[in-house]
Amino acid sequence: TEGQFRNIWNNMDTMDDETTVFMTLKSFKSFISKPETSQSLPEADLAQGDLQRQYMQRIELEDAAEKIHSRTHLLQMAQEKQQMELSHKRARIELEKAAHISARDLEREVDRNQELLSRIKKLEDRETETAKILSEQMDMNKTLKKSLEGQNKRLEEKDSKISEANETISSLRDEIRELNHKIKNQEMQLITLSTDSQGLQEQVELQRRETKENSSLLKEEMEGLRKKLERMEKIKEDMVNLELEKEVRD
């Protein structure tokens, strides 16, 4: 047993820590549990040699136990170091995962912001186009209003010459005032529409079509009125000519 213990002790440096610890402990326990052999009336020098050998064995066992304790402590430290490395590795993986998620969320947020900016740009373009359409519509209404004012002025000039057509002319004036009122209402609707951005494009398009249709109808009505006035003037002239002819005959 002592020879085996010495061989294990000498080969400790060539084994890994766990194997060394377990084999040394096993040998130490085997040596301790081995019963002592009875001595047969030893001589003094033999007894002294046995005591010295036992003393050396105890010294070696104590050294072995100390070395086992040291290697056990080193093994424990190595295991703690390994656990720390594993913990650091897991923490690094978690951090990398969190960084990846944050980067992905940031990329999504950037894409969302780009989409919002694109939508804002489209809305601004639509607003500019709508403002342009509104401006054109206002100009058209102003031109139409001036045209109506000119026609109204001409009607007023003819009113002094056609006294018998006063009632008809008055009716025509009422119609013109009604048309002017409609135009003012349309202008107010356009102003109201310009302050309301929701559904502005469709409303402006509808208003433009209605104004165009109203302009068409107004032109047709004005043309009818003009022809009616011309007919009345022709009738008036014929009546005057007839009166003159009667006077000449008389």
Q: pTM of the entire structure?
A: 0.27
Q: How high is the pLDDT of residue 205?
A: 75
Q: What is the pLDDT of residues 172-192, one digit of tens each?
A: 677 767 877 876 777 777 677
Who wins on pLDDT, 71 or 120?
120
Which run of H or E residues covers position 123?
A: helix 44-159
pLDDT category of residue 1 using cuts at 50, 70 and 90: very low
Q: Is 214 in contact with 182 (CB distance < 8 Å)? A: yes
**The two structure tokens encoding residue 62:** 């104590």
The DSSP call for residue 14 is G
The closest of 121, 122, 142, 229 to 184, measured between CA atoms, is: 142
Q: What is the pLDDT of residues 105-152, one digit of tens each?
A: 888 888 888 888 888 888 888 888 888 888 888 888 888 888 888 887
Dihedral (CA of 204, 210, 213, 216) sign: negative
Q: Is 41 helix (H, G, I), strand (E, B) or coil?
A: coil
